[in-house]
């Protein structure tokens, strides 16, 4: 599975985030990962992973955030949304609807 990036010209910080997520992806080959820059100060990430089934939100977050440990704090601070869902949750999540159809940023 490849990481889906919603831009043809990612900036430096977006590239750093994607590179970190590639390490997560290597260990979780069934995960679907999508990343995009919502505004000049906001990166949104969605991970849909069947392995999340039965895990708490904290357990999911701990594992994914760990992928960002090597990154500078300034890069990680750009992550404004980290949406971690099972495939079933993705069909029912209001946050997933916003991820699919984001309200345009005014920044």
Average pLDDT over residues 42-65: 96
| Total Cβ atoms within 10 A of residue 50 | 12
Going by pLDDT thresholds of 50, 70 and 90, the confidence category of residue 8 is confident
Q: Confidence band (pLDDT; 50, 70, 90) for 67?
A: very high
Give the strand order in the sheet containing 79-85: 4-5, 32-39, 42-48, 79-85
Q: What is the pLDDT of residue 104?
A: 77
Is the model's pLDDT at 54 over the cut of 90? yes
Q: What angle do CA 58, 26, 75 make, to 5 degrees?
A: 60
Residue 88 pLDDT level (bands cut at 50, 70, 90): very high
pLDDT of 77 reads: 96
For 22, 50, 66, the CA distances from 78, given in Å and listed in that order, are: 18, 26, 16
């Amino acid at each position: 599975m490849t990481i889906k990036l919603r831009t043809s010209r990612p900036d430096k910080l977006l590239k750093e985030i994607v590179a970190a997520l590639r390490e997560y992806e290597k260990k979780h080959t069934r995960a679907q990962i999508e990343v995009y820059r919502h505004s000049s100060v906001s990166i949104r990430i969605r991970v849909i992973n069947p392995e999340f089934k039965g895990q708490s939100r904290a357990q999911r977050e701990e594992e994914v955030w760990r992928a960002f440990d090597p990154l500078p704090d300034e890069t990680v601070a750009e992550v404004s949304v980290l949406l971690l869902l099972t495939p079933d949750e993705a069909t029912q999540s209001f946050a997933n609807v916003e991820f699919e159809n984001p309200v345009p940023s005014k920044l």
